[in-house]
Amino acid sequence: MNVRNRKIFINNLIIQASVGVYDQEKQQKQKVIVNLELLLSNDSEPKHDNLKATQDYSQFRKCLIDIVQSQHFHLLEVLVEKIHSNLMINSYVIGAKVKISKPDIFDDCEVAYELSNI
């Protein structure tokens, strides 16, 4: 039997987020960059060239945006965990990797947090 891995990627999604513990982060939204990798079960592989026959990328993009914009998060780790656990509810998702970067928090580097079960 031929084993095939099916993945969806969402790369470099830029969202304005309320995240952080510093006063400036609580008062003003900042840019975060979200990267997502989803490992899908083969049950969702389309048999026809029809959007209804597969998992729509837009549902995952919307999930990311909705969660990031839902509230203020003190910790990036909690935000990433919330996204990860929500994605894993989808019966066709068997693994997920979520990474969120804060590119503007420091002048000399970008910081990020990643959670994965892939």
Sequential pLDDT tens for the chain (118 residues): 567 789 999 999 999 999 999 999 999 999 999 999 999 988 766 676 766 656 789 999 999 999 999 999 999 999 999 999 999 999 999 999 999 999 999 999 999 999 999 9
Q: Can you list the alpha helix ranges (DSSP code H) found in 46-97?
A: 57-68, 76-87
Task: Give me the sign of the Cα torsion angle 47, 50, 52, 57.
Answer: positive
Q: Which two tokens stand for residue 59?
A: 């549902």
Element (H, E) at 9: strand 6-17
Sheet with 111-116, edge to edge strand ranges: 6-17, 30-40, 93-102, 111-116
> How many C-alpha atoms does 49 have within 13 Å on its Cβ side?
0
Which CATH number is 6-116 given?
3.30.1130.10
